[in-house]
Structure 1
């Protein structure tokens, strides 16, 4: 007798449910490759890259062109000069840090459209993409 496949213990979603679920996921996430290709191609219109870690982490290493908006400091006052027409791509250290999620939530609460960079700057550097800053050490520092 053959053992049933564990991965099919719960049936797969219908195609329409999968389209809804995975389409919604992509409304919230950007992967490092897509962002790197956009930056390399000069396709920077319509969004801004936001580092949500502390200033010292940003100074050490950040994605080229990113702005530093530590999630703990996001208020109506601190974001008054942001363009409400842009989408803000938030990132932090890695999947083990939730500063990007907290930053995206704060920006969304303030009325901005947001996405999160999957895997943070750790996934970015693991893929071999460049960083700017005084050093190359990536730490959580949120």
Structure 2
């Protein structure tokens, strides 16, 4: 009897290659964002899509705050259509980044999700920009 892992066969290599390659066109990870920032290779707009209070309590350095509900053509008019947006939210338990990515894509912008969000950033051992007075939990409120 096969293990639970092998109970459903793996996809053929060609299909797996296509699947995993396609996933990378939709997402980036915290380490890649951090390394790009450290190397001065910031050719993307990092957007925290949580609410303003959550953003003020702590956010990824270099991020701007545009809550998902405020992603509109009017609000983004200052960005060229070629601007790559990288969106994140609280973490894997929150779909705010996915909702924001849908809005950005519908508006014609290239977009990737920073998988893991705030939770992933902290799990990697990276620091948040946190005001000295922040002592409350960092929630979503997207």
TM range (shorter): over 0.9
Give the distance between the partners of 1:63 and 1:42, measured in 2 at CA: 15
Q: Secondary structure at the match of 1:94?
A: coil
Distance in 1 between the 2:14 and 2:35 partners? 30
1:118 maps to 2:106? no
Corresponding residue of 2:53:
56
Q: Is the 8 A contact 1:122 1:138 kept in 2?
A: no
TM-score (norm 1): 0.92
Indicate the residue corresponding to 2:101 in structure 1: 104
Contact 1:53 1:68 in 2 (8 A): yes
Partner of 1:16: 14
Give 1:74's match in structure 2, choosing from 68, 71, 76. Answer: 71
- 1:36 paired residue among 30, 34, 37: 34
Aligned to 1:141: 141
**Unpaired runs of 5+ in structure 2?**
none
**What aligned pairs does 1:124-135 form with structure 2 within 5 A after superposition?**
124-134=121-131, 135=134
Deviation at 1:5, TM superposition (A): 1.9
Under a length normalisation based on structure 2, what TM-score does the superposition of the two structures give?
0.92
Structure 1's unaligned 5+ residue stretches are: none
RMSD in angstroms over aligned alpha carbons?
1.2
Aligned residue pairs total 139
Deviation at 1:109, TM superposition (A): 0.6
Quote the Cα distance in structure 2 between the aligned partners of 1:106 and 1:11: 36
3-state SS, counterpart of residue 44 of structure 1: coil
